[in-house]
Amino acid sequence: MNTKREERKREILVLFLFFYLLGGFYMYDVIIIGAGISGATIARELSKYKLRTIILEKEFDVATEATMANSAIVHSGHDPKPGTLKAKFNLLGNRMYKQMSTELDIPFMECGGMVLATSDEEANLIGDLYKRGIENGLKESEIQLLSREEILELEPNISDLVLSGLNLPTTAVTFPWEAAIANIENAMDNGVELALETKVISITKDNFFTVKTNKKTYQGKVIINATGIFGSEVANMATKASFETRARRGEYYVLDKDVKVANRVLYPVPTTKGKGVIITPQYHGNTLLGPTSEFVPFEDVSKTTAAGLEYIKVNSLKLLKDIPFHKVIRSFAGGRATSSTEDFVIEESSVEGFINVCGIESPGLTAAPAIAVYVVEELVSKRLELKSKESYNPYRKKVIRTIELSQDELNELYKQDRNYAKMVCRCEKVTEGEIIDAIHRNCGATSIVGVKNRTKASSGRCQGGFCQSEIINILSRELEIDKTKVVYSKTDSYVLIDTTKGDFE
Amino acid sequence: MKEYDVIVIGGGSAGLAAALEINKHRKSKILVLERDAELGGILQQCIHNGFGLKVFKEELTGPEYAERFINELDKSGIEYKLNSMVTKMHPDKRVEYASAEEGFVTIKAKAIVLTMGCYERSAGAISLPGKRPSGVMTAGAAQKYLNIDGYLVGKNVFILGSGDIGLIMARRMKLEGANVRGVAEILPFSGGLKRNIVQCLDDYDIPLYLSHTVTEIIGENRIEKIILSEVDNFVPIKGTEKEFEIDTLLLSVGLIPENGISEACGIKMDSKTKGPIVNESYQTNIDGIFACGNVLHVHDLVDFVTEESRKAGQAVVKYLDQTLDQSSNYITLQPGKGVSYIVPQRINQKNLSNSIELFLRVTNEFKDVQFTVTSNGEVIKSMKKKHLAPAEMEKVKLKIEDFEHIKDQITLSVEAL
């Protein structure tokens, strides 16, 4: 009898300990909701300090919404309304990008930009835009008025409509999803956790926040709401938000990398609707044409339309004389979050410790590293003590991009790992070694699009027609899952549904 | 640096035929570079029959057709490398390739034959409106999953585009137990061969929607639905929308010659064929670089690829023997009314023996018309044609005596009778 009672006692103790630990296990200093560029840069910034941080992301991978569907531009800071958070963080962010890109090995192309006026009315606005740039803090070396002749010398393909313009040499181009992925990977290398396919259902606050998700329940002292177009929806879970986020859709065309239509980012003169249809050369050689800009229901943000794509054609041809549209290899659309306040919302809400980083539309990608520093040093610091972590390493393990290596370097690499000479993607020249590396890093690829976003494999002119089956083989082998369980992009987006009759393996 | 007489880039139907033909006529050091794990190219995934009627006078499957050439290659002693992908080619005929067995290698040749074949136009290239779920892929990719890897890509299928691979895959998916809901073609006529329409669609009661296209892709994770609309000259007609619940959309919307490395090397392209501009000897604008097969222009039948590649192989032999006239006194061939392209694009008369066959495609369907060959306004020749369609490659033969009246250019057009 006695021994049985003791056993029972021990069982209760073990159970108690288990639940106590479990509670502690899910207790975080900071819970970031949303793994877009904002959540990513904030996570990395937080990882400098002795804080327990987790990122909750509802999608199958990180960086799938606005971070995925934008122009990839690191804007100079010339056009936000002076005095706004957009203006402030754009300029600060632009000046931080190079260092961040070096530390995290993110592609960064300092190509410069230009605003082009294509009517007398627009030409009259160029002077105002120049003044605005100066007011926003651009130095005179960072913004100059240009005549048509001066533009032609730098951009011979401009249309006959172009009258004058503005030179913006500090405009650059990044690779947005890699920027987000690299920030999260580095944050994870420094101890931050990531929970994917984890959708927040409710948030309550007692002594600390309790965040219920479709999976586990998490507890945290500080919440950062970086949920893009769902910003006000998530903010409203904690308290009635002071703003509303709506979704604006941007559609894009991608041109193949073998055509070059512009040497730098070419903007039209901005309107109240935004920056307009921009011509953006990409780091990897492609050109992006877009975006459109229209408010749509959340569920329609990633839907391309014939009308939208036609709009891009018409408007991009105002800037350029010749665009080979038969070289289009892809079109896509994505949603960006517009706040009812018409500015970024970066604030602690009326609930102590609940921080909104919302309405981060353009120039959000540029502003992200500066926003992160502000959020951590000015807002999180009010609720948590920031103690530096000696072990913090700002560098991400270098990414091997075989296309950038010389033949000698390639053969040196080949001696270490033969997979770097197995060419998987023939259009973009991506090797099996690069794909395996992308799978096994922190925040690694787990889907076909995940591989594409990290390595460029299957993003070229054949769009995976030849290499997708090989990418499925590699994912299946490296993740130790059946080929029918390999997904294209989202949860359950399987490509292969069954084996055919007969014995194949 | 290892040196060869000839490097053949691509070990598919064109590469195999060209290499064998060169070897047959001239003892040469030949290397075939193949990116895949086996020779044969796309033929290996074409397990249906219908190949070889012209070349072998019998009906073979794709792998059987390939096997005949592979066996012959093995017997010939021609060197080949598998899993070897050419990454770059230089005008001085250095070729760089990557292979897991050797690493990154540069080799050199006296002549190069481009036989890289073609790739399928993707969903991205035609900018289909709607979302980007899984379950949308090219027909050829689905064919590889099914016939090589042994996996089924879906059970409820619609096919956009009536190219031959789409038609073949309609039947193949049906035989695999899938419900094939239909094939849509944006043009008022099919993009595939007549025999494939009959044998792959009609025989299986699969409907063909001419002048129709997909106007929206619906589905978050996997494709769930498409909206199909009738079109008037490519513009969707409001009110004609039909909805199909499907789990797979296959695309057969065109093949594009694979010329990434050719263009990077400075080889001039024909904007219509998307292949190199070649002369009567299948030589490109770069001395000693030849092209044949689907990398040059997309063929209807593999038999035509073989025939063309053999001719290219013979020209390479002449080049190596230095009996090919390299002067640039060309007669240029111009597609006239109703003709979209002609291959070759130019002719050096000195290299012609008895005759030359011109290959061309027409822009539209025509009934009871004639081909007219003119040179500087003078009619050289005309041939009656009962039926012409863009899907069927046409041949026009010019005899050496026809050239007596030809000056510096030839125009080929479709004229009313």
Q: Map out the domains of chain A with their CATH numbers.
A: 17-65+177-237+349-382 (3.50.50.60), 73-175+246-339 (3.30.9.10), 402-485 (1.10.10)
pLDDT in tens, B164-210: 999 999 999 999 999 999 999 999 998 888 999 999 999 999 999 99
Q: Is residue B340 domain-shared with residue B270, that is, in the same domain? A: no
Please name the member of B129, B132, B256 whose beta carbon is closest to the beta carbon of A305: B129
Q: Do B116 and B259 reside in the same domain of the chain? A: yes
Checking if the pLDDT of A20 tops 90, the result is no
**B129 to A303: CB separation less than 8 angstroms, yes or no:** yes
Chain A with chain B: Cβ pairs closer than 8 A: 151
Instruction: List the 321-360 stretch of B: residues with Cβ below 8 A of A.
Output: none
Partner-chain residue, chosen from A414, A496, A500, that has the shortest CB–CB distance to B104? A414
Task: Determine whether A480 is exposed, middle or buried from the number of CB atoms within 10 Å of its CB (0-12, 13-18, 19+).
Answer: exposed
Interchain CB distance below 8 Å, B135 and A258 = no
Residue where one domain finishes, among candidates B253, B273, B297: B253
| Domain of residue B40, CATH code | 3.50.50.60
Q: Please give the pLDDT value at position A5.
A: 75
Decide if A330 and B100 are in contact by the 8 Å CB cutoff.
no
Instruction: Report the residue of B89, B101, B151 to disrupt the A interface, i.e. the one with the largest count of A CBs within 10 Å.
Output: B151
Describe chain A by its helix, strand, coil percentages, rounded to 5.
40, 25, 40
Instruction: Kindly report, residue by residue over B247-305, the tens digit of the pLDDT.
Output: 999 999 999 999 999 999 999 999 999 999 999 999 999 999 999 999 999 999 999 99
Whole-complex ipTM: 0.95
**Last residue within a domain, chosen from B291, B324, B357:** B324
**One domain for residues B36 and B112:** yes
Strand partners, A30: A53, A222
Task: Give catalytic residue positions of A.
Answer: 75
Global confidence as pTM: 0.94
Residue B248 and residue B142 share a domain = yes
Contact residues, chain A, for B149 at CB < 8 Å:
469, 483, 496, 504
Q: What are phi and psi of B187, to 5 degrees?
A: -85, 165
Looking at B253, B270, B303, the residue that finishes a domain is B253
Asked if B135 is an interface residue toward chain A (Cβ–Cβ < 8 A), one would say: yes
Does residue B2 sit in the same domain as residue B116?
A: yes
Q: Output the average pLDDT for chain A.
A: 95
pLDDT at site A25: 57
Rounded Cα–Cα distance for residues B238 and B281 (Å) = 50
Total count of domains within chain B? 3
SS3 state at A449: helix
The verdict on B82 and B157 lying in the same domain is no
Q: Give yes or no for B269 touching A (CB within 8 A).
A: no
The CATH number of residue B365's host domain is 2.60.40
Q: Touching check for B146 and chain A: CB below 8 Å?
A: yes
B79 and B14 part of one domain: yes
Q: From residue A33, how far is each of A40, A57, A222, A242 by CA, in Å?
A: 10, 6, 11, 18
CB contact under 8 A, B124 and A254: yes
Do residue B311 and residue B367 come from a single domain? no
Task: Give the pLDDT confidence of B329-372 residue by residue, as tens digits.
Answer: 899 999 999 999 999 999 999 999 899 999 999 999 999 999 99
Please, how many CA atoms are within 13 Å of residue A353, restricted to the half-sphere of its CB?
20
| B243 and B135 part of one domain | yes
Q: Which helix (H) or strand (E) holds A33?
A: strand A27-33
CB-nearest to B151 from A302, A304, A483 is A483
Examine the pLDDT at A462 and tell me if it is beyond 80. yes
* Interface contact flag, B98 A407, Cβ < 8 Å: no
B158 with B96, same domain: the answer is no
Inter-chain contact A504–B149, Cβ cutoff 8 Å?
Answer: yes
User: Is residue B87 within 8 angstroms of chain A, CB to CB?
Assistant: yes
Mean pLDDT of chain B: 96
Model pLDDT for residues B64-88, shown as the tens digit of each residue = 999 999 999 999 999 999 999 999 9
The shortest C-alpha distance from B232 to chain A (Å) reads 15
- B230 and B292 part of one domain: no
Q: pLDDT digit string (tens) for A134-183?
A: 999 999 999 999 999 999 999 999 999 999 999 999 999 999 999 999 99
Domain span at residue B370?
Answer: 327-417
Amino acid, single-letter form, for residue A227? T
B292 and B238 co-located in one domain: no
Give tens-digit pLDDT for B26-69.
999 999 999 999 999 999 999 999 999 999 999 999 999 999 99
Strands B409-416 vs B366-375: parallel, antiparallel or unpaired: antiparallel
Tokens of B204: 């299986």
